[in-house]
A and B are shown apart, each in its own frame.
Chain A
Amino acid sequence: MIYAQINADGICEAVSDLKDKVNAAHMIPIADNENPIGKKWENGIWNNVAAPTIYKILTKLQAIERLMTDGGMTPTELVTAREDPNLKFYWMVWEFAGTDDVNRNSPDTAAVLAALQDNGYITQAELDAIMANWPTE
């Protein structure tokens, strides 16, 4: 039997040819020739969905570059911020992180940007620009 497996949002993420009948709300029986992967199961039919915005994971160096472009920070301001006692905790976390990845949607990223704003290194408009112009796939 062929089943489409949907996630919590109703999006089909898998199509499986199983040996027996499966009774589960997230397993939708489909015909052999159907392929609804990526479609949304709504009211008994498959609907196409707009592709979600996927933000690129940046390296730390690229994140610094974001601060200098949309964030408007100069090299001198970056150096000052690097030595600012109010921000040292965030730089420490930055350095101790086990990865070079900077994720737009990470709470750590939000905390760093908020701290830069709170301490006058970027404005709210610049923070908004950093987020709005974050590179996407």
Chain B
Amino acid sequence: MTTVSELFPQRGPIASIQRGVFSVATATSGTSPDRRYTNITVSAVNDITKCLVNVLGSASTSTASAGNYGSNAGGDQTILAGRMTSTTNLRIYHDNQNLRSSFQGTWELVEYN
């Protein structure tokens, strides 16, 4: 089982917290694991390995009726994840091949010393 220290290696005091909201009509297409994503510009952090990104949001799309081939049920949504790709870029993404492309939610970036 994963330990807490493995999940959260950043164990120093908090250096900064940045946060925000997003609502993206059409997220950018990419390849796995970023099949759909959007980038959020943030103030520069010192070390992305000491950052913890929390995203609370989902991706949705115009969906087909539930049941047809069982792959794209109406109203279905995909949970989003987030990570730092550089000291100033937070990427919010999902890897769902059904390509839900409308993103909504909130994010929080915690940097530890």
Is A130 an interface position by the 8 A CB rule? Answer: no
Separation in Å of the A137 CB from the closest CB of chain B? Answer: 5
Is B21 an interface position by the 8 A CB rule? Answer: yes
Q: How far is the CA of A18 from the CA of B72 in the complex (A)?
A: 37
A100 touches B19 (CB 8 A): no
**Chain A residue at minimum C-beta to C-beta distance from B39:** A5
**Chain B residue at minimum C-beta to C-beta distance from A62:** B64
List residues of chain B with CB within 8 A of the CB of A58. 64
Is B86 an interface position by the 8 A CB rule? Answer: no
A62 touches B18 (CB 8 A): no
Given A57-B64, A58-B64, A98-B97, A19 and B18 contact (CB-CB distance below 8 Å): yes
List residues of chain A with CB within 8 A of the CB of B25. 11, 13, 52, 54
A20 touches B43 (CB 8 A): yes
Q: Mark B29-65, 1 if CB is under 8 A from A, else 0.
A: 0000000001011111000000000000000011111
B20 touches A17 (CB 8 A): yes
**Chain B residue at minimum C-beta to C-beta distance from A26:** B41
Is A14 an interface position by the 8 A CB rule? Answer: yes
Q: How far is the CA of A15 from the CA of B19 in the complex (A)?
A: 9
- Of B23, B38, B43, which contacts A18 at CB under 8 A? B43
A24 touches B61 (CB 8 A): no
Q: Mark B70-113, 1 if CB is under 8 A from A, else 0.
A: 01100000000000000010000000011100000000000000
B42 touches A18 (CB 8 A): yes
Q: Mark B1-26, 1 if CB is under 8 A from A, else 0.
A: 00000000000000011111111110
**Chain B residue at minimum C-beta to C-beta distance from A54:** B62
List residues of chain B with CB within 8 A of the CB of A5. 40-41
List residues of chain B with CB within 8 A of the CB of A13. 22-25, 38
A17 touches B18 (CB 8 A): yes
- Of B17, B23, B68, B98, which contacts A38 at CB under 8 A? B23
Instruction: Please list 19 pairs of residues, one from A and one from B, whose beta carbons are closer than 8 Å in the complex, sorted by A's number.
Output: A13-B24, A13-B38, A14-B38, A15-B20, A16-B21, A16-B42, A18-B20, A19-B18, A20-B43, A22-B43, A38-B23, A57-B63, A57-B64, A59-B64, A59-B68, A61-B69, A100-B69, A100-B72, A137-B62
Interface residues of B, Cβ cutoff 8 Å to A: 16-25, 38, 40-44, 61-65, 68-69, 71-72, 88, 97-99
